[in-house]
Copies of this chain bind each other. A is one copy, B any other.
């Protein structure tokens, strides 16, 4: 029950051409994969014959195409094929993936294959095998004996690891647009502030409820503006009510959250009336010192030094808290991981299994997390700066909703949509003035 292309007419004269048969399958027409394949071949100076096309008739039925690709030299052909593989194209003739041993710890063999953030398979002993731990810009290390493959950062490659080289025996599974319009992604790649955010926030709330029902992790990546704007109470409430399984941030959100709890200020400004507090610019250093003196956040909670706020809720609700350091940090807080490579590993671990990642008001951490995510994970990026939202939405094809809006009002509205309650007035500072 399908349509089929049949070649009508003429053969071509084939003097000195290099060719490769490829095939591609799935929602290749409505996902715009096939047209992009045609384009890419021609853009790169190649040519092609369409050997066969079958177009799916029903919404669920996949389509299929088989092409013969030509180029005037082998190198050009190789470059074309490499590019096509990112669209999910598969070599008809594909043999096994080729691997070469890594020459030294942290050094790759020539011609290594660099991964995308799309689901990827390699052919080992004639069988297509899923590559574990999908992530962008890694390499694939193969265990030929176990017929297993996984993505590995260059820094973790050890001498002798069998690293995939070239493009043979590798294929990626591109994300395909489904026929049914999806609520969550309706704003996909929309970064305008001129759309209704209320609708978008309702969709994110629905997604969060859905994740919780299905036991998937919800990860929040947050910047200090959440605290500066007084939105800490909303985030605390979301954590308290079980809507956050992992929280990723940096030294600043931790410091200002503690500052807000102990002194009622953020960056020295009163959270009650927005005015500068005398000597308030020193409060964040006092907050850091208070936690350092206690030992760390957990001990500060145990000792009664920290009695509420975002960090408190993380500690008391068993949230997976990853605080990654940066060169602009003061202190830092004792819970902050100062080595960025170690921090990346922890972040990678924390996002594994996430059903939804919500990024609020942090460019650095959001980009870092975005780099680590497979394209299949849903992401909501919330920032008042359209440049941040655009930058994140552009970084690969993960399923991102971009919201150019105010973090404070966003989190408040998100609580309202989820029926999560929060205090209307900021609590009194818990530290005695002058103390600490």
User: From DSSP, what is the main secondary structure of chain A's interface residues?
Assistant: mixed
A1 within 8 A of B: yes
Q: How far is the CA of A59 from the CA of B4 in the complex (A)?
A: 22
Of residues 82 through 121 on chain A, the ones whose CB sits less than 8 Å from some CB of chain B are 82-83, 103-104, 106-108, 110-112, 114
Query: Do A82 and B278 have beta carbons less than 8 Å apart?
Result: yes
Inter-chain contact A2/B6, CB cutoff 8 Å: no
A386 within 8 A of B: yes
A193 within 8 A of B: yes
Min CB distance A94 to B, Å, is 18
**Which of B10, B53, B364 is within 8 Å of A364, CB to CB?**
B364
**Contact of A9 with B by CB under 8 A:** yes
Residue of B nearest to A5 (CB): B3
Q: Is A418 among interface residues, defined by CB-CB distance under 8 A?
A: no
Asked if A179 lies at the interface with its beta carbon under 8 angstroms from chain B, I say yes
Q: Does A405 contact B (CB under 8 A)?
A: yes
- Chain A 231-279 interface residues, beta-carbon cutoff 8 Å to B: 267, 269, 271-275, 278-279
Separation in Å of the A162 CB from the closest CB of chain B?
Answer: 16
Partner of A325, one of B49, B59, B341: B341
Q: How far is the CA of A4 from the CA of B4 in the complex (A)?
A: 8
Q: Given the known A-B contacts A328-B367, A340-B338, A404-B384, are A7 and B3 also in contact in the complex, defined by CB atoms under 8 Å?
A: yes
Report chain B residues within 8 Å CB of A286.
Answer: 112, 114
Q: Specify which chain B residues have a CB less than 8 angstroms from the CB of A340 in the assembled complex.
A: 325-327, 329, 332, 338-340
Instruction: Name the one of B3, B59, B155 contacting A331, with C-beta atoms under 8 angstroms.
Output: B155
How far is A75 from B324 in the complex, measured between Cα atoms in Å? 37
Contact (A278, B79) CB under 8 Å given A38-B30, A289-B107, A340-B338:
yes
Interface centre among A55, A281, A368 (most CB of B within 10 A): A281
Query: Could you mark each residue 328-348 of chain A with 1 if its beta carbon is under 8 Å from any beta carbon of chain B, else 0?
Result: 111110000011110110010
A13 at the interface (CB under 8 A from B): no
- Interface hit among A125-133, A211-219, A222-230, A308-316: A222-230
Residues on B with beta carbons closer than 8 Å to the beta carbon of A434: 75, 78, 111
A324 to B435, CA, bound (A): 35
Taking a contact as CB atoms under 8 Å apart, the answer to whether A197 and B409 are in contact is yes
CB distance from A119 to the nearest CB of B (A): 17
Cα-based distance from A405 to B406 in the complex (angstroms): 5
In the complex the two chains form, is B281's CB within 8 Å of A114's CB?
yes
Q: Is A371 an interface residue (CB 8 A)?
A: yes
Q: Is the CB of B327 within 8 A of A292?
A: no
> A79, B279: Cβ atoms under 8 Å?
yes
Residues of B close to A363: CB separation below 8 A: 363
Chain B nearest CB from A236 CB (Å) reads 15
Question: How far does the alpha carbon of A364 sit from the alpha carbon of B78 in the complex, in Å?
Answer: 39
Q: Is A206 an interface residue (CB 8 A)?
A: no
A43 at interface, CB cutoff 8 A: yes
| Cβ–Cβ < 8 Å partners of A55 in chain B | 5, 50, 53
**Do B338 and A341 touch across chains, with their CB atoms under 8 A apart?**
yes
Q: Does A350 contact B (CB under 8 A)?
A: no
The answer to whether A406 and B197 touch (CB under 8 A), given A327-B326, A327-B343, is: yes
Q: Which residues of B contact A278 (CB under 8 A)?
A: 44, 79-80, 82-83
Residues 349-371 (chain A) with a chain B CB within 8 angstroms: 363-365, 367-368, 371
Cross-chain contact A199 with B325 (CB below 8 angstroms) = no
Q: Give the B-binding residues of A (Cβ under 8 A).
A: 1-10, 29-32, 34-35, 38-39, 42-44, 49-50, 53, 55, 57, 59, 75, 78-80, 82-83, 103-104, 106-108, 110-112, 114, 137, 139, 154-155, 177, 179, 181, 183, 186-187, 193-200, 225, 228-230, 267, 269, 271-275, 278-279, 281-282, 284-286, 288-289, 292-293, 324-332, 338-341, 343-344, 347, 363-365, 367-368, 371, 384-387, 390, 404-406, 408-410, 412-413, 433-436
- By Cβ-Cβ distance, the 3 closest A-B pairs, closest first, are A409-B409, A196-B230, A79-B278
